[in-house]
Amino acid sequence: MRANYQACVWICSLQSNHSIPDPFGYDWKMAHSAENEISLDTDWMDWKLAPETVLEQLACKCLRSCSLSSCVCISNGLVCTDLCKLQDCENQAKAE
């Protein structure tokens, strides 16, 4: 949203009559400094990057070995990745 806002500012700067929208609501927020000055600050997202079910499919939590009965990756037909807890298993992609 911040990139879209910045693109809008650049496009508006080419016009003779500037009509730049308010930055609040485009992932910006108002910040107050110790000197009581107002400035813009980034409003970072605070939600998860993906739903929990997607994250579970991207990384298994196997401790000793990956098997069909316990490994989320194998049960979904996926290979284990670097995100998986067990870093050395037979279900990882073979280096070519």
pLDDT tens-digit profile of 21-68?
788 878 878 888 777 788 878 877 777 766 777 766 678 888 888 888
Q: Tell me what pLDDT residue 55 has.
A: 64
Beta-carbon neighbour count of residue 57 at 10 Å?
A: 15
| pTM, 2 dp | 0.40
* Contact indicator for 40, 29 with CB cutoff of 8 Å: yes
Distance of CA 45 to the CA centre of its chain: 9
- Cα–Cα distance for residue pair 3/9, rounded to 1 Å: 10
Q: What pLDDT is attached to residue 79?
A: 85
- The Cα 1–Cα 69 span in angstroms is 42
The answer for residues whose C-beta is within 8 angstroms of residue 15's C-beta and 6 or more apart is: none
Amino acid at 76: N
